[in-house]
Chains A and B, each alone.
Chain A
Amino acid sequence: MHADHTGRTEAAAEGEVARELLTKSRAETAFAGQEPILEVRDLVKHYPLTQGILIKKQVGAVKAVDGISFDLRAGETLGIVGESGCGKSTVARMLVNLERPTAGQIKYKGEDITTMSGRALKAVRRNIQMVFQDPYTSLNPRMTVGDIIGEPYEIHPEVAPKGDRRKKVQDLLDVVGLNPEYINRYPHQFSGGQRQRIGIARGLALQPEIIVADEPVSALDVSVQAQVVNLLDRLQSEFNLSYVFIAHDLSIVRHISDRVGVMYLGRMAEIGTDIQIYDHATHPYTQALLSAVPVPDPEARTKRDRIILAGDVPSPANPPSGCRFRTRCWKAQERCALEVPELAVPAVFRLESGPAHHDSACHFAEERVVVPPSD
């Protein structure tokens, strides 16, 4: 039965999962009113910039993350997209406590984990796990797959007593569609997609409630990527997991996310349900991102209105005043340099009940059709 394990996993779940995903429709309705499992408020991370070799003097700071807020509910997927260097990975590392924020709160079930320590922190950490971006370098080449996946049990022995571990690890391999007989193999004996599954199995080992996945499929080809995404989808419905899914591929993010947050230079530009963001974006940066997505169909390409952004992302050590996007925004006006636009429903849409009614940090928010519906 294990011979064609992956194939089986995909095929068997097919009809069922597809139907479920369709009915899930994944709009806010499914999660509205539900208590968030994670509340992130005004999260900030500044890295000091120093000068001098012997005597280090702080001359400034890289404002990697500069005031990010969002909620995450049980069973929900929040996608985070944004330009390279905008602070996505930094947010991820703070969520799983690999890094302490400079300021702000991360509340897990109402309790701020940024000030926790000792036993309380350890207990929380167990419930928020990370899957890393790079399946090639994030696995220790000298450890067997069994050791890699079982490693979290060394830190949390209460989850699996020593005698049970081998069995647990084999179960995990089975869950992610890998042959349990592979337990003694080394990472280099697996393909990219298989290694990514190993990373996911490891993320699941402690039965967390939240998985923060930092670009889990970016290095994979589309077919392997599809396998991994389907797996994540299946695991979510099976274990009611919450995901924070970071990626720069907007199509894949749409596929997996209930809500999507768009980051720019350390801040959230816009956040909303997939329909709000993909079909009714009101922030110029989101519109530019959407318009730049390459379409894998030469004929559909010509139908699109592509917005090419001029210039480069400014340095996070010295972000522009007011709206951070203004140096590349074709709509920028004087007000944009003076006033920081807050992340809220823009005034023009406040009375509206349609999908344009969602948080967008722009003084001149408006809709613009960038992705014409396919026929």
Chain B
Amino acid sequence: MLLEVRDLHVEFHTRDGVAKAVNGVNYSVAEGETLAVLGESGSGKSVTAQAVMGILDMPPGKISSGEILFKDQDLLKLKGEERRKIRGQEMAMIFQDALSSLNPVLSVGEQIGELFTVHRGMSRKDAKAKAVELMDRVRIPAAKERVGQYPHQFSGGMRQRIMIAMALALEPSLIIADEPTTALDVTVQAQVMDLLAELQRELNMGLILITHDLGVVADVADKIAVMYAGRIVETSPVHEIYKAPAHPYTKGLLQSIPRLDQKGQELYAIKGLPPNLLRIPPGCAFNPRCPMAQDVCRTDVPPLAQVSETRQSACHFWKETLDAR
């Protein structure tokens, strides 16, 4: 397994108390595989990713327990220098907002080239040639002429592709893309996702794709992990989850999707509010909002049960959920 996150717990110490943002996350990604992470806003998707990348804000953040195994070594046990090396060369992250994660006062060529001068000890001239090559690869037209331009001189879709170019520069074995296309319109979205999928295949990388967009997921992911209140509540191969979700939260999420070919009814929305992380409800965290909740849900935390060889659900009533579709 390329990456295996085991029982990860992350908390934030705030003025109001301890916010339990990640409460025992387990997921894994193999080489060449795409894992999509879905879930409510605030459910801990980005925080988990930041912990994996080693870029979590600490403090206020704190990894209170768990393991992050990357090629069988626990990243949490590595020293600063070793950790940085893996982060720089073996894994890369693409952020949602390309404009604010690119440096506005450096040309894109300098920013891509820097990766090669710093990590590969290349000369500036060679690094620039590499930058042009990469920009070509992510299909920036006239890369040679534009390598000296600044981020604001590129369109949103191009900036996102430049971010991808930077993430790919050192040919990492794992890429984490945190909502890489949320800010883009559908035509550019399609281009960016196709490109990412193609390069992933070519380089046989593992990809963790965090997204709100279930359409994008259907397009590129091999498997899905759904998060709620800092836990994985369901994991499944893509096709099966769309056909029959095994967790009521996933079911609600799928029902909420507006469809292009349907109109005229009120959209389905999961009732109630996301949980307050300072006071996560006892039992199943979803119980105050769950249409299937029973007494046991208010007292016992549901374990991540094996639904089939490839599927898991953290619901006391996953069987009933599967049947009740």
Residue contact B269 to A230, C-beta cutoff 8 Å: yes
A25 at the interface (CB under 8 A from B): yes
A308 at the interface (CB under 8 A from B): yes
User: Which residues from 31 to 63 on chain A have a C-beta closer than 8 Å to any C-beta of chain B?
Assistant: none
Closest to B220 in A: A294
Residue contact B185 to A83, C-beta cutoff 8 Å: yes
Q: How far is the CA of A81 from the CA of B214 in the complex (A)?
A: 20
Residue contact B264 to A21, C-beta cutoff 8 Å: yes
Closest to B219 in A: A294
Q: Which of B39-47, B196-204, B293-301 contacts A (4 or more CB under 8 A)?
A: B39-47
Task: Determine the chain A residues whose CB is within 8 A of the CB of B218 once the complex forms.
Answer: 294-298, 301
Minimum Cβ distance to chain A for residue B185 (Å): 4
Residue contact A294 to B186, C-beta cutoff 8 Å: yes
Task: Determine the chain B residues whose CB is within 8 A of the CB of A223 once the complex forms.
Answer: 40, 252-253, 256, 269-270
Interface of B, secondary structure class, is loop
Q: Which of A112-120, A154-162, A246-254, A345-353 contacts B (4 or more CB under 8 A)?
A: A246-254
Residue contact A255 to B267, C-beta cutoff 8 Å: yes
Q: A11-B271, A224-B41, A274-B263 are in contact. Are A82 and B185 (CB under 8 A)?
A: yes
Q: A222-B257, A294-B215, A298-B218 are in contact. Are A289 and B187 (CB under 8 A)?
A: yes
Q: How far is the CA of A7 from the CA of B189 in the complex (A)?
A: 33
Residue contact B191 to A308, C-beta cutoff 8 Å: yes
Closest to B274 in A: A191
Residue contact A218 to B186, C-beta cutoff 8 Å: no
Residue contact A250 to B157, C-beta cutoff 8 Å: no
Task: Determine the chain B residues whose CB is within 8 A of the CB of A311 once the complex forms.
Answer: 141
Closest to B278 in A: A189
Of B238, B260, B263, B267, the residue contacting A226 (CB under 8 A) is: B267
Residue contact A84 to B157, C-beta cutoff 8 Å: yes
Residue contact A251 to B256, C-beta cutoff 8 Å: no
Of B158, B182, B186, the residue contacting A293 (CB under 8 A) is: B186
B254 at the interface (CB under 8 A from A): yes
Task: Determine the chain B residues whose CB is within 8 A of the CB of A220 once the complex forms.
Answer: 41, 212
User: Which residues from 248 to 265 on chain B have a C-beta closer than 8 Å to any C-beta of chain A?
Assistant: 252-254, 256-265
Task: Determine the chain B residues whose CB is within 8 A of the CB of A249 once the complex forms.
Answer: 186, 258
Minimum Cβ distance to chain B for residue A371 (Å): 6
A374 at the interface (CB under 8 A from B): yes
B272 at the interface (CB under 8 A from A): yes
Task: Determine the chain B residues whose CB is within 8 A of the CB of A69 once the complex forms.
Answer: none
Q: How far is the CA of A225 from the CA of B255 in the complex (A)?
A: 12
A74 at the interface (CB under 8 A from B): no
A94 at the interface (CB under 8 A from B): no
Q: A6-B273, A223-B256 are in contact. Are A297 and B189 (CB under 8 A)?
A: no
Residue contact A21 to B265, C-beta cutoff 8 Å: yes
Closest to A231 in B: B269
B57 at the interface (CB under 8 A from A): no
Q: How far is the CA of A372 from the CA of B260 in the complex (A)?
A: 10
Residue contact B265 to A22, C-beta cutoff 8 Å: yes
Q: How far is the CA of A71 from the CA of B106 in the complex (A)?
A: 44
A367 at the interface (CB under 8 A from B): no
Task: Determine the chain B residues whose CB is within 8 A of the CB of A313 once the complex forms.
Answer: 155, 157
Q: A221-B39, A225-B256 are in contact. Are A6 and B266 (CB under 8 A)?
A: no
Task: Determine the chain B residues whose CB is within 8 A of the CB of A26 once the complex forms.
Answer: 264
Task: Determine the chain B residues whose CB is within 8 A of the CB of A13 once the complex forms.
Answer: 266
Task: Determine the chain B residues whose CB is within 8 A of the CB of A84 once the complex forms.
Answer: 155-157, 183-185, 188
Residue contact A7 to B141, C-beta cutoff 8 Å: no
B126 at the interface (CB under 8 A from A): no
Residue contact A288 to B187, C-beta cutoff 8 Å: yes
Residue contact B268 to A226, C-beta cutoff 8 Å: yes
Residue contact A229 to B264, C-beta cutoff 8 Å: no
The interface size bin for chain B is: 35 or more
Of B42, B239, B272, the residue contacting A6 (CB under 8 A) is: B272
Q: A84-B184, A254-B260, A289-B186 are in contact. Are A221 and B155 (CB under 8 A)?
A: no
Q: A84-B155, A84-B185, A297-B218 are in contact. Are A17 and B39 (CB under 8 A)?
A: no
User: Which residues from 113 to 131 on chain B have a C-beta closer than 8 Å to any C-beta of chain A?
Assistant: none
Residue contact B271 to A4, C-beta cutoff 8 Å: yes
Task: Determine the chain B residues whose CB is within 8 A of the CB of A194 once the complex forms.
Answer: 273
Task: Determine the chain A residues whose CB is within 8 A of the CB of B253 once the complex forms.
Answer: 221-223
Of B155, B182, B242, B256, the residue contacting A85 (CB under 8 A) is: B155
Most buried by B among A25, A223, A297: A223
Residue contact A296 to B254, C-beta cutoff 8 Å: yes
Task: Determine the chain B residues whose CB is within 8 A of the CB of A81 once the complex forms.
Answer: 185
Q: How far is the CA of A224 from the CA of B45 in the complex (A)?
A: 16
Residue contact B184 to A248, C-beta cutoff 8 Å: yes
Task: Determine the chain B residues whose CB is within 8 A of the CB of A296 once the complex forms.
Answer: 214-215, 217-218, 242, 254, 257, 259
User: Which residues from 198 to 250 on chain A have a C-beta closer than 8 Å to any C-beta of chain B?
Assistant: 218-227, 229-230, 233, 248-250
B216 at the interface (CB under 8 A from A): yes
Q: A230-B266, A312-B141 are in contact. Are A278 and B219 (CB under 8 A)?
A: no
A18 at the interface (CB under 8 A from B): yes
Q: How far is the CA of A188 from the CA of B211 in the complex (A)?
A: 22
Task: Determine the chain A residues whose CB is within 8 A of the CB of B194 once the complex forms.
Answer: 308
B213 at the interface (CB under 8 A from A): yes
Q: How far is the CA of A295 from the CA of B272 in the complex (A)?
A: 27
24 pairs of residues in contact across A and B, judged by CB atoms under 8 Å: A4-B288, A6-B273, A10-B269, A18-B266, A21-B266, A25-B264, A84-B156, A84-B185, A219-B182, A221-B253, A222-B256, A223-B269, A225-B256, A225-B267, A230-B269, A251-B257, A254-B263, A294-B213, A295-B215, A296-B214, A296-B218, A299-B239, A301-B218, A372-B261
**Other 13 A-B pairs with CB < 8 A, given A192-B42, A298-B218:** A6-B271, A25-B264, A84-B185, A191-B273, A218-B182, A222-B256, A223-B40, A224-B274, A274-B263, A290-B260, A293-B186, A293-B215, A295-B218
